[in-house]
């Protein structure tokens, strides 16, 4: 059953995209200890919006960015929401083509400064710096001229109130082009485990967030990757919606 959920619903992969990905990885020079240091500092100060004790593993980052590799040579608009220190960003920039446009939305000021420095100093990031922009703002306030072909979210949705999680998902759906792909993650079984040991109010919040997420997944999930090599283990969800979009449950 798990393997069925992980089957790919995707078109042909452009070999030029794969070649670009392969060549870019030859020059990867990532400072992992600096990334962990920045992430850990912000986790201690802003747990609710950071949402994890470690950045996403390279396996989760690869799963979340898998559809960046799927391209037909046409220019694409790519949005990453909540990139943090750039663990997933690193995979995205390595898989982008020269015609893609990449925007990153991040609320945390320290993460924004760290990301902008990476676009100045690291080869993979420098390669796409001219076609990328780091925006210090909320995704709810984003009003682009055109919708995005790909949206990759690192937001810890299960940490938020039902209302905020709903508003954020509605914003992501609003920004997504019909037929575009939205990718986001959830930690496996963490919501259920927390509900068992939590007080009633917290259990109600977790169940409410779960209902909203399940509604979106039922509307258009095309693939679910199980990523066990992550702390904690996680699902990477991939959703595609048609012109009807999605409406949150009331």
- Mind listing the domains of the chain with CATH numbers? 2-240 (3.40.50.150)
Tell me: the pLDDT tens digits for 205-239?
999 999 999 999 999 999 999 999 998 899 999 99
More confident call, 140 vs 56? 140
Q: Which of 56, 130, 120 is nearest to 89 (CA)?
A: 56
Distance of alpha carbon 235 from alpha carbon 64, whole angstroms: 9
Lowest average pLDDT, out of 157-166, 190-199, 241-250, goes to 190-199
Specify the pLDDT at position 219.
97
Instruction: Tell how strand 148-153 and strand 77-81 pair up.
Output: parallel
pLDDT above 50 for 10: no
Please list, in sequence order, all residues whose beta carbon lies within 8 angstroms of the beta carbon of residue 174, skipping any fewer than 6 positions away. none
Angle between helices 87-95 and 15-25 (to 10 degrees): 130
Q: Distance of CA 171 to CAs 101, 168, 182, 203, 246, Å? A: 19, 5, 12, 25, 11
CA angle 119-230-107, nearest 5°? 40
Q: Are 232 and 188 in contact (CB under 8 A)?
A: yes
Distance of alpha carbon 25 from alpha carbon 22, whole angstroms: 5
Backbone angles phi, psi at 136, to 5 degrees: -95, 85
CB atoms within 10 A of CB 36: 15
Lowest average pLDDT, out of 28-37, 61-70, 134-143, goes to 28-37
Note if the pTM is more than 0.85.
Answer: no
Angle between helices 200-220 and 162-175 (to 10 degrees): 20
Distance of alpha carbon 111 from alpha carbon 174, whole angstroms: 25
* Residue range 99-124: mean pLDDT, rounded: 96
Distance in angstroms between the alpha carbons of the first and the last residue of the chain: 30
Tell me: the pLDDT tens digits for 69-92?
988 889 999 999 999 999 999 999
């Amino acid at each position: 059953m798990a393997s069925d959920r992980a089957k790919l619903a995707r078109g042909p992969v452009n070999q030029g995209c794969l070649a670009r990905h392969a060549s870019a990885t030859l020059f990867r020079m990532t400072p992992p200890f600096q990334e962990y240091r920045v992430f850990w500092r912000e986790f201690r100060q802003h747990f609710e919006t950071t949402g994890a004790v470690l950045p996403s593993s390279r396996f989760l980052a690869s799963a979340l960015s898998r559809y960046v590799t799927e391209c037909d040579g046409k220019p694409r608009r790519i949005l990453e929401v909540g990139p943090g220190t750039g663990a997933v960003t690193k995979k995205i920039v390595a898989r982008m083509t020269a015609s893609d446009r990449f925007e990153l939305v991040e609320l945390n000021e320290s993460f924004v400064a760290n990301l902008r420095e990476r676009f100045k100093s690291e080869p993979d990031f420098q390669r796409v710096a001219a076609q990328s922009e780091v925006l210090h703002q909320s995704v709810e306030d984003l009003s682009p001229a055109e919708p995005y072909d790909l949206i990759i979210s690192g937001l810890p949705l299960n940490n938020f109130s039902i209302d905020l999680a709903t508003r954020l998902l509605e914003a992501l759906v609003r920004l997504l082009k019909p037929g575009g792909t939205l990718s986001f993650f959830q930690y496996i079984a963490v919501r259920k485990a927390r509900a068992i040991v939590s007080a009633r109010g917290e259990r109600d919040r977790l169940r409410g967030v779960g209902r909203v997420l399940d509604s979106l997944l039922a509307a258009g999930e095309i693939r679910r990757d199980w990523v066990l090599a992550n702390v904690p283990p996680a699902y990477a969800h991939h959703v595609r919606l048609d012109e009807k979009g999605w409406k949150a449950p009331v």
